[in-house]
Amino acid sequence: MKEYIVIFEWAGTNYSAYVPDLPGCISTGKTLEETESNIKEAIELYIDTLREDGQLIPEPSLKAKAISVMA
């Protein structure tokens, strides 16, 4: 099992998500929960396509952590 960092963004009327370690792997949804489910499916399909094409599956390379600051 691999864990990829997913970036979620509010796009004004919906959420979008992308996976920096998997170029072109993106998805959207009306809610954060829907977007999370959709990007998980997109990741699985992306990896399945790489396997079918005989390509290497990229290793996760990013780490993320929220840092609190006074603003």
- Which tens digits make up the pLDDT trace of 1-58? 899 999 999 999 999 999 999 999 999 999 999 999 999 999 999 999 999 999 999 9
Q: What is the pLDDT of residue 3?
A: 96
Q: What is the pLDDT of residue 7?
A: 98
Q: What is the pLDDT of residue 41?
A: 98
Domain residue extents for the chain: 1-31
What is the pTM assigned to this prediction? 0.91
Q: What is the pLDDT of residue 13?
A: 97
| Alpha-carbon distances of 9 from 4, 20, 24, 48, 52, rounded to whole Å | 16, 13, 16, 25, 30
Structure tokens at 56: 């290497």
Terminal-residue alpha carbon distance, the chain: 38
Q: What is the pLDDT of residue 29?
A: 98
Which stretch of DSSP H or E encloses residue 23? none
